[in-house]
């Protein structure tokens, strides 16, 4: 089976596919047309050798993935033409103020603001809440390792509750369907079959390189790492967990990278819980969603083979374009 270095992300009514050198976003507009935007990209790990070292490259990739994810969601809203969605992305007075004072582009300020808010939300949900709940058990449990394991399971429970809750939202469910289409398309390519809707449909929506599996591995590794620190005072626990998160994500990245290259039974055992968790974050897509995912995949594989033009290129029911510079 062919190994692929292409990954992806579900977006608003579409799919983003990313290779080491290119990003392609395919979105089905309300009129049924699939619009594709593609652009070349370079990781800091390629520019600076030290950032490409094991663990460090995972930390950098984790940050870059968050930035690309937010930017991609904004782009998909523009391609889809959802006016209400676009209104949500309008810059605030504070963001305009920062743009004026720093001289940075307003879009960069908006992405930065969204990134900060996402980090704050994640810290509250997956750090502060679990360690606060676990603290109530400290009077009955003295063993530090046991406390860290309990905190880890509470964190996992919060994550599962969060995923199950948002999956009940209609729009989120459609995102999960596009997530499934992304996985099926990559499976089809890796099995060296022609990328067609019929071929992609027969594959599973579960994939070992999925971000859902990555998050689960992060939570498991965090239990071991945090246990080395003992059970600290409350605010110190919050600080150390925040500081160590990039390191843990770097370790998890290496595990995922290793798993993606191996087909051993050990890897299958390690990745099995992550695959099962994807049953919550992926849903079976319809043929139109598979078509969008395939267009995104084809675009990302082709964008480095031909020079991208400023003018849109129309091919059947698909519009190809490059972002304005």
Arithmetic mean of pLDDT, 232-245 = 90
- Does residue 47 have a pLDDT over 50? yes
Residue 111 neighbours by CB under 8 Å, 6+ apart: 67, 70, 71, 74
Mean pLDDT of the chain: 84
**Residue whose pair of structure tokens reads 């994939």 in the numeric block:** 207
Question: Which DSSP category does 81 fall into?
Answer: T
Output the pLDDT for position 117: 84
Distance in angstroms (rounded) separating the CA atoms of residues 211 and 209: 7
- Does residue 309 have a pLDDT over 80? no
Q: Choose between 237 and 83: higher pLDDT.
A: 237
Other CB atoms within 10 Å distance of the CB of residue 23: 24
Segment of 29-33, 116-120, 195-199 carrying the highest mean pLDDT: 195-199
Instruction: Provide the percentage of residues in the chain whose pLDDT is more than 90.
Output: 38
Q: Is 8 helix (H, G, I), strand (E, B) or coil?
A: strand
> pLDDT digits over 272-283, tens only?
888 888 999 999
Other CB atoms within 10 Å distance of the CB of residue 37: 25
> pLDDT digits over 64-119, tens only?
888 888 888 888 888 887 555 545 556 667 667 667 767 777 767 777 787 788 88
Arithmetic mean of pLDDT, 225-230 = 88
pTM: 0.82
7, β-bridge pairs: 18
Residue 307 neighbours by CB under 8 Å, 6+ apart: none
Q: Choose between 21 and 130: higher pLDDT.
A: 130
Output the pLDDT for position 71: 86
39, β-bridge pairs: 23
> pLDDT digits over 157-191, tens only?
999 999 999 988 988 999 999 999 999 999 999 99
Instruction: Provide the percentage of residues in the chain whose pLDDT is more than 70.
Output: 86
Other CB atoms within 10 Å distance of the CB of residue 236: 11
């Amino acid at each position: 089976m062919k190994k692929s270095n292409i990954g992806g992300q579900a977006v608003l009514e579409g799919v983003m596919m990313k290779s080491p050198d290119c990003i392609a976003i395919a979105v089905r507009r309300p009129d049924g047309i699939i619009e594709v935007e593609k652009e070349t990209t370079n990781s800091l790990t390629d520019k600076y050798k030290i950032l490409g070292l094991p663990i460090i490259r995972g930390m950098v990739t984790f940050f870059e993935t968050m930035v690309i994810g937010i930017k991609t969601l904004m782009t998909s809203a523009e391609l889809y033409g959802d006016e209400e969605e676009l209104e949500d992305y309008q810059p605030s007075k504070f963001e305009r103020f920062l743009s004026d004072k720093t001289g940075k582009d307003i879009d960069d300020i908006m992405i930065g603001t969204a990134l900060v808010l996402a980090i704050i939300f994640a810290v509250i949900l997956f750090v502060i809440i679990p360690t606060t709940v676990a603290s109530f058990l400290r009077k009955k449990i003295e063993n530090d390792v046991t406390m860290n394991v309990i905190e880890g399971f509470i964190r996992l429970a919060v994550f599962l509750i969060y995923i199950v809750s948002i999956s009940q939202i209609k729009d989120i469910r459609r995102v999960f369907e596009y997530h499934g289409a992304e996985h099926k398309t990559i499976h089809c390519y890796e099995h060296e079959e022609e990328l067609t809707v019929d071929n992609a449909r027969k594959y599973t929506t579960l994939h070992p390189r999925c971000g859902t599996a990555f998050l689960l591995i992060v939570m498991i590794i965090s239990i071991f790492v945090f246990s080395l620190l003992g059970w600290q005072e409350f605010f110190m626990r919050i600080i150390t967990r925040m500081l160590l998160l990039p390191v843990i994500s770097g370790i998890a990245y290496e595990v995922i990278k290793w798993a993606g290259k191996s087909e051993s039974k050990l890897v299958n055992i390690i990745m099995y819980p992550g695959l099962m968790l994807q049953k919550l974050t992926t849903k079976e897509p319809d043929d139109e969603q598979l078509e969008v995912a395939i267009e995104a995949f084809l675009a990302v594989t082709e964008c480095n083979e031909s020079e991208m033009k400023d003018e849109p290129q129309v091919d059947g029911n698909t519009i190809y374009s490059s972002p304005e510079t």
